[in-house]
Amino acid sequence: GFDAIWISPVVENIANGWHGYWAKNFQKINTNFGTLADLQDLVKECHKRGVLVMMDWVSNHVGIVDISQIDTFNSSEYYHPCDSCPSWCSISDYDNMAQVEMCRLSGLLDLNTEHPFVVSKLKSFVASIIKSTGVDALRLDTVPHVNLNYWEDFRSSVNTFMMGEVFDGRAERGAAFQNPLDSLLWYPMYYAIRNVFGSKADASQLDTVLKTSRASYLDTTVLGNFVDNHDNAR
């Protein structure tokens, strides 16, 4: 009965990046998953059955490796400088948006998404894989870790449905990104569902989140409901 699936990022990863989130080469397919032809066949077979395919995409970072080993983005100028962030470049305060955008998430090399070359290449890479595979939508990883101007530019260049991840239970934090994107994962509702059904919290939390969301988001009807994913246990 499913009419859509969400697949992992498919680009080539550094060693041990079997999951897809530690990019090394945005122009190659992760061999742990198969070949480009395999991906094309998957999309075709899904479409035959009336199933849409949403592909995960990461613009914020690449894997933890020497910069020289990253394809295309092989110079320090393509990354946010470490000296702008405390604690060996890592984010220490998730309410500090300068840190969230400029510093490293879990030590991952943070792409300088204000750099024209980086912006141009990322748009080119994602447009190419959409064209070559026929995927129907994108799930965008780590959205608030990338500046809003980038997503506005990305929106104008990538003509497909986009659902963003804002890993935060506050509706007002995520709502800021719905305008350049189409949809967002509904994290505020996820946390409310988890609290009510997993921890026996008062069910009024669900009503509160719904009211707050309606006041914050442009459109709650397109938000992505979920009860678990690769980051959050059911």
The CATH number of residue 117's host domain is 3.20.20.80
CA nearest 179: which of 167, 162, 196? 162
pLDDT at site 51 = 98
Q: State the average pLDDT over residues 182-199.
A: 96
For residues 74 and 36, is the Cβ–Cβ distance under 8 A? no
Rounded CA-CA distance 195/21 in Å is 28
94 part of a folded domain: no
CA angle 109, 55, 230 (to 5 degrees): 65
Q: State the average pLDDT over residues 125-131.
A: 95
Residue from 77, 93, 165, 182 carrying the catalytic annotation: 165
Q: State the average pLDDT over residues 153-171.
A: 92
pLDDT at site 89 = 85
Q: Residue 50 CA to chain centroid, in angstroms? A: 25
Taking the model in full, what pTM does it have? 0.94
Q: State the average pLDDT over residues 129-152.
A: 96
Range with lowest mean pLDDT among 33-37, 87-91, 199-203: 87-91
Residue from 56, 114, 141, 182 carrying the catalytic annotation: 141
74 part of a folded domain: no
41 part of a folded domain: yes
> Can you tell me which residue has the tokens 């497909």?
160
Percent of the chain with pLDDT over 70: 99
142 part of a folded domain: yes
Using DSSP's 3-state secondary structure scheme, residue 14 falls into coil
Percent of the chain with pLDDT over 90: 88
29 part of a folded domain: yes
Rounded CA-CA distance 12/181 in Å is 25
214 part of a folded domain: no
Q: What is the extent of the structural domain holding 38?
A: 4-64+113-165
185 part of a folded domain: no
pLDDT at site 87 = 67
pLDDT at site 157 = 81
Q: State the average pLDDT over residues 74-98.
A: 87
165 catalytic? Reply is yes
Give pLDDT tens digits for 52-70. Answer: 999 999 999 999 999 999 9
At residue 213 the predicted structure's pLDDT band, cuts being 50, 70 and 90, is very high
159 part of a folded domain: yes
Q: What is the mean pLDDT of the chain?
A: 94
Question: Bigger pLDDT: 144 or 85?
Answer: 144
Query: For the chain, what is the domain count?
Result: 1
